[in-house]
Amino acid sequence: MKAIYLAQFGTIDEELMSALEVCAWQIFGYDVKRMPNLPDPSYALDTKTNQYSSVLLLKNLISQVPKDAVRVLGVTNHDLFIPMLSFVFGHAQLNGPAAVISLARLHQSFYQLQENKQLLIHRMMKEAVHELGHTFGLIHCSDSRCAMSLSNAIQQVDKKTEELCANCSILLEDSTKQKSRENGMEMQR
Amino acid sequence: MKKLWNIMVVDDEEVMRESLAAWLREDGYSVDTSESGKEAIEKTKLKTYAIYFIDLKMPGGHDGIETMMEIRKIQPEASIIIVTAYATVDTAITAMKEGAQEYIVKPCNPEEISLLVSRIIKIKNLQRENSILRKKLTKQYSFCDIISKNPKMMEIFGLIKEVASLRSTVMIQGESGTGKELIARAIHYSGDRAAKPFIGVSCAALTESLLESELFGHEKGSFTGATGQKKGKFEIAEGGTIFLDEIGDISPKLQLNLLRILQERNFYRVGGSEQINVDVRVIAATNRNLEEAVHEGKFRDDLFYRLNVINIHLPALRDRKEDIPLLVHNFIERIGPELGREVTDISEGALKILLNHNWPGNVREIENAVERAIVTCKAKILTEDDFAFLANHGNEKKQWNIPSELTLEEIENQAITATLQRTHGNIKEASAILGVDRSTLYDRIKKYNLPRN
């Protein structure tokens, strides 16, 4: 039975990880399992900006995808960037096995506001669904309420929900069916 | 809609190009990458990209600016974004001067790139929509292969529809290259005779005896070399239409023969005694002033009246300049594929050159000019450079040698006379061309006792 694996870079609040488990199971319909905690990704640190390269985190994740994993989602407290962009909330491989999300910019304290754990959990779930959605081949959606809508700022994250719109749900269903068929054919061989 | 647009990311650093490409793919674009300027140029020859992200500093031959310049030669319509880690005013100015649409410093704010790409794509979508609408417009303004939105031409289209199914002869007058034969074909193919032959004969191309034999045919032995019986064009066109181009050039003897065929609807082959009856519609055309030829006694007036039952006067291209963009786009669409060239559009600057040209050879001349430009064009869009030969031609014309021993008054007299002839006596137009007000022009016309037409 294939499962979505969650991986923590360093230590992540257990309440957040539990919320993530439920959310990934509800939206994607796969079992959700945990990978053993991964060490803090010091190898990905850019000392000039004090940010971590999401590309290197993804590479690390891909190198240790469990055999029964349909997808792996990494979670880090560190602020992420890709070389071209000053920051990213998360990073995924389109139609690939892995994605990673950062909690750094989802905290209210990042914007000099009072912490709000419930808000943080909702923001995290939205970004997790968004990045996992990319790994299932979904692209950005023009419906600003859909989890697949593009967020370049925290206001856009807050505007969307952790749900997929009707169109993206159908596309996800098609993608997972296709995957199951491919896996079935693989087993027959 | 996004899938329609291809984006190319050019950067020698793998992590840089792949991460940007992945980010753009998540946004729904189809993205290709190249690790060098050379590779990007090669890929550009095979595929069209709407947007290029090009790193300014790349090793190995082509840096960002050079790559951009090469790509712009192949795809001038592509939007190019130069990316650099170190911004300097000088490089930014150079990049923009050479045609970069944007200049960005990495790392960028994701919102900035999103907005930039969506703004460019919005413009591309509008341009595409514009091109589709233009094609629809061309269809709306085209009538049997003739394209025009000029009011006079529209009247002519209306007249063609009205007279297409009549048997009456038609006289088409107009300068060389205005499309007289196209009008004749439109009349033929819009009427009841469409299923029957349309036969065109250029009366100026043949000597009198050859033209006579060509039109009416000949019997065996009627002249040296007449080894067998031959049917003439009038017989071949039975039930259809015969188009006699350059009718003003035919000899008095042939004028008489034609008059007979128009009056009696029958004729004799050269050297023959058998009367042949025909049902042929005659459409004649000339670029000469036939009324004048009649007045001078060079053209039979009775034949002129027989031919001139329905008169169509085609305006010169300089009098229907609004048609130039429509015509040019039509030529590009038609000639490009015929020549196996992937030219799709014309730049605004090039179109301006065509609009300012006088086109003495009319539509035929502009068609030839576009064909020549397509042949020599290295990109997908015709630019000013592709029409450089027109500018040279224009300059040669501007080198006017003033005839010697003329007084200033005589030169003025000649200039006004020539301009009035060109404007067919239109004072308003002539005064605008000469750069004087109307009362001044009236004074000069009176002073030199000039005819208005």
Give me A143's structure tokens.
């419906």
Q: What is the pLDDT of residue A182?
A: 62
- Identify all chain A residues contacting B19, using CB atoms and an 8 Å cutoff: 54-55, 82-85, 91
Whether the Cβ atoms of residue A54 and residue A83 lie closer than 8 Å to each other: no
Q: Is B122's Cβ below 8 Å from some Cβ in A?
A: no
Q: What is the pLDDT of residue A188?
A: 44
Taking residues B105-112, what's their average pLDDT?
Answer: 84
Mean residue pLDDT of chain B comes to: 86
Q: Is A71 exposed, middle or buried, given 0-12, 13-18 or 19+ CB atoms closer than 10 A?
A: buried
Number of A/B CB contacts below 8 angstroms equals 65
Q: Which of A81, A172, A160 is nearest to A126 (CA)?
A: A160
Which of B13, B23, B27 minimises the CB distance to A85?
B23
For chain A, the structural domain boundaries read 3-178
- Separation in Å, CA of B13 to nearest CA in chain A: 10
Q: What residue spans of B27-177 are helical by DSSP H?
A: 37-46, 64-74, 89-97, 110-140, 151-163
Which of B2, B26, B83 minimises the CB distance to A94?
B26
Residues B434, B439, B445, B449, Cα dihedral to 10°:
-170
pLDDT band at A186 (very low <50, low <70, confident <90, very high): very low
Taking residues B23-50, what's their average pLDDT?
Answer: 91
Whether the Cβ atoms of residue A128 and residue A28 lie closer than 8 Å to each other: no
Which of B16, B109, B114 minimises the CB distance to A83?
B16
Percentage of residues of chain A with pLDDT beyond 70:
94
Q: For chain B, which domains are there?
A: 2-136 (3.40.50.2300), 153-313 (3.40.50.300), 327-395 (1.10.8.60), 408-447 (1.10.10)
CATH number of A3-178: 3.40.390.10
Q: Which three-class secondary structure state does DSSP give residue B98?
A: coil
The string over A88-100, giving b where at least 16 C-beta atoms fall within 10 Å of a residue's C-beta and e elsewhere, is bbbbbbbebbbbb
Hey, are the CB atoms on A87 and B110 less than 8 Å from each other?
A: yes
> Is A131 annotated as catalytic?
yes
**Residues for chain A: how many in total?**
189
Q: What is the pLDDT of residue B226?
A: 74
Hey, are the CB atoms on B22 and A84 less than 8 Å from each other?
A: no
Strand ranges for B193-352 from DSSP E: 198-202, 217-218, 230-231, 241-245, 266-268, 275-277, 281-286, 310-313, 345-346
Interface test with B, best of A50, A59, A84, A144 (most B CBs within 10 A): A84
**How far, in Å, CA of B40 to CA of A130, rounded?**
32
- Separation in Å, CA of B3 to nearest CA in chain A: 11
ipTM for the complex?
Answer: 0.79
Hey, are the CB atoms on A83 and B22 less than 8 Å from each other?
A: no
**Of A14, A15, A127, A131, which residue is the catalytic one?**
A131
pTM over 0.90? The answer is no
The number of angstroms, rounded, from the C-alpha of B183 to the middle of its chain's C-alpha atoms is 16
